[in-house]
Structure 1
Amino acid sequence: MARTEYYDDANAPEPNSLVVAASAVVTDEKGRILLQRRKDNDLWALPGGGMDMTDSLPGTAVREVKEETGYDVEITGLVGTYTDPRHIIEYSDGEVRRQFNVCFRARIVGGSLAVSNESTEVRFVDPSEIDALPMHHTQRLRLQHFIDSRPTPYLG
């Protein structure tokens, strides 16, 4: 299923769903950030996804990191909340969503690197390399807030 992301685009389709989601910034011992190259749009992104009815938001982040990267993580903090109504995601199955994403900080406690069926590549990236990667604006924003080591979470 293909995915198209719009940001502040008058030509974006009207949303027909609101999805609560979680993502996580996971770092290794060298300070590199775990990213995946998504299969549905070929862009780099943090691991994350939609919350199930039986999940908590931190639990969603833990589950999504495991599913998408193979790593077991524990949540260590909050990067921020991301609810910008100008960000619209359209899927080829007809879903057009607004997404409410809570982005956490996390550390690896087990598992091993694995590429899921949602990605073409998963790897740790040095923060200095992030600007060169094809990535949606909203992912860059989360990463920049993490890299800036903000004293309080971003609320937006």
Structure 2
Amino acid sequence: MEFRDYDTRLAAYCVIVAQEDGRDCVLLSMLSAERTRWGSMWTLPGGGVEYDEGFEGAALREVREETGYDAEILGVLGARTFTPQRRGSGEPDGRPFKSAAVIFEAVVTGGTLGTLEVGGSTEYAAWVPIDDVAPGTPSTTRLPDHTSAGPERARDGVRVVSTVGYALDLWRRLQRMRSLPVT
């Protein structure tokens, strides 16, 4: 399939980690059950890039809408592409699409926890312990930047968008690199 044969959805997401009760917790948004074929599930705050905005602006806008927090971007963690498992399942008109997402590391700079979206895809936001939603040990192999797999499962059985595990793996790798001595 050539690039003219499908639509591209640009997206931007933020990994925001803070200490809660002595544990690393990640800020996540709960997608509404009506918005996915898998039901309610955790995702990173973020979403589609509007026509008139860049990746950074979209990520910060989405964090504000979905979580109630203002944020500052610290840097780019990575990028990921995604296509739905079933061709044509992502759009009402049946035209296939591919999501291309940039994933940022960010910190909260203000605001109060609570989704500001009205009629959007987010039910609520929460700080969730990383160990409850990230895959076990960070991967030691090269991370795939594309998956057609469905969601993963959190420790309590709630579904988690696969990009969360991918992004947290990137974040953990960055933390390990930051802790290495400078030579």
Smaller-chain TM-score range?
0.7 to 0.9
Matched, 1:118 2:116: no
Structure with bigger RCO (C-alpha 8 Å, 6+ apart): 1
| Moved segments of 4+, more than 6 Å | none
Aligned residue in 1 for 2:26: 33
State how many pairs are aligned.
136
Alignment of 1:113-152 (within 5 A): 113-115=113-115, 116=117, 117-130=120-133, 131-132=154-155, 133-149=158-174, 151=177
Please say if residues 127 and 147 of structure 1, whose CA atoms lie closer than 8 Å, have aligned partners that are also in contact.
no
CA-based RMSD of the aligned residues comes to 2.2
Question: 1:22 matched to which residue of 2?
Answer: 12
SS at match of 1:121: strand
5+ long unaligned stretches in structure 2: 134-153, 179-183
Displacement of 1:18 in angstroms is 0.2
Greater share of strand: 1
Larger CA Rg, structure 1 vs 2: 2
Q: Does residue 1:53 correspond to 2:65, yes or no?
A: no
Conserved? CA contact 2:45–2:62, under 8 Å:
yes
Give the gaps of 5 or more residues in structure 1: 1-14
Distance between the aligned counterparts of 1:138 and 1:65, measured in 2? 16
User: What amino acid is the match of 1:138?
Assistant: T
CA offset at residue 139 of structure 1? Answer: 2.7
Percent identity, aligned pairs only? 26
SS of structure 2 residue aligned to 1:148: helix
Conservation of the 8 A alpha-carbon contact between 2:66 and 2:124: no
SS class of match (2:52): coil
Once residues 102 and 144 of structure 1 are traced to their aligned partners in structure 2, the CA distance between those partners, rounded to angstroms, is: 15
Given the two structures, how large is their TM-score scaled by the length of structure 1?
A: 0.76
What is the alpha-carbon distance in structure 2 between the residues aligned to residue 114 and residue 22 of structure 1? 20
Residue type at the aligned position of 1:73 = A
Q: Distance in 2 between matches of 1:96 and 1:135?
A: 23
Amino acid at match of 1:129: D
Q: Does 2:94 align with 1:98?
A: no
Q: What TM-score, normalized by structure 2, do the two folds share?
A: 0.66
Task: For 2:15 and 2:81, locate their aligned partners in 1 and report how far apart those are by CA, in whole Å.
Answer: 18
CA distance in 2, matches of 1:106, 1:112: 16
